[in-house]
Amino acid sequence: MLGAHLQRALASDKVEVACVRTARRAIAAAGKRPPDVVLLDVGLPDGDGIDLCRALLAARPALLVIILTARDAENDIIAGLDSGAVDYVTTPFRLADLCARVRIQLRRAAANDDRLRIGDLIVDRTAHTASIAGTSIELRAKEFDLLANLAEGAGTVRRREDLIAQIWDRRWIGAAKTLDVTISTLRRKLDDAKPHAVAITTLRGVGYRLERA
């Protein structure tokens, strides 16, 4: 029933929609015709949605996955976002709000059209890739968006509330925690690619700054 409502609502936004009900069919469908956005229910009849999210992103790291679920515990939210989802929406939700979130994600993906350089770090918004001294950094969609945002303002402070509003949703109560988790993951991945090349500095209670280490 929910799938039918989603199809109608998204179709009104001139979005082509395909609906499948199992993890197996989702993987098959994504392989035949890669989607731009996946709306994913965590509870599937033949597997766990978090595992499916990881499998889809392993094939296409830049794929936009939005999780739709009734699970609203903090550890569930963290697990969902840590799997690579760009958004985590709990039921009940308004279809108009969900459609707006889909449009936002699509616009952001389309806007990634320039290269940013900070020392040995290159963030290519057109290719949706990042590298340090030629070493590629594998990033999930939100990790990339956050790194690109910080790189745009390299050397200056990006305020927490602005990062949350621009990359997630200011109204979502889990966004602050998600920002901290994503920053921690970014630091590790940057350091793994080339230690001490760049640094993400925390200004406690204010925000973050990306700069040469």
Domain boundary residue, one of 110, 141, 161 = 110
Give the pLDDT of residue 175.
72
In the predicted model, what is the mean pLDDT of residues 92-108?
Answer: 84
Same-domain pairing of 48 and 92:
yes
How far does CA 149 lie from the centroid of its chain? Answer: 13
Tell me the C-alpha distance between 37 and 135, whole Å: 28
pLDDT score of 129 more than 70: yes
Q: pLDDT category, 207, cuts 50, 70, 90?
A: very high
Residue 64 phi/psi, 5-degree rounding, is -90, 115
Same-domain pairing of 47 and 82:
yes
Tell me the C-alpha distance between 203 and 207, whole Å: 5
- The domain spanning residue 76 has which CATH number? 3.40.50.2300
- The domain spanning residue 160 has which CATH number? 1.10.10.10
Give the pLDDT of residue 208.
96
Same-domain pairing of 106 and 8:
yes
Same-domain pairing of 100 and 119:
no
Same-domain pairing of 20 and 69:
yes
CA dihedral 59, 90, 104, 65 (to 10 degrees): 0
In the predicted model, what is the mean pLDDT of residues 89-105?
Answer: 87
Same-domain pairing of 143 and 90:
no
Same-domain pairing of 89 and 133:
no
In the predicted model, what is the mean pLDDT of residues 103-131?
Answer: 80
Same-domain pairing of 84 and 120:
no
pLDDT score of 110 more than 80: no
Domain boundary residue, one of 55, 86, 110 = 110
Q: How many domains does the chain have?
A: 2
Which distant-in-sequence residues (6+ apart) come within 8 Å of 60 by Cβ?
30, 34
pLDDT score of 119 more than 90: no
In the predicted model, what is the mean pLDDT of residues 73-89?
Answer: 91
Same-domain pairing of 136 and 92:
no
Residue 102 phi/psi, 5-degree rounding, is -65, -45
For the chain, give the percent of residues with pLDDT over 90.
Answer: 43
Domain containing residue 163:
115-212
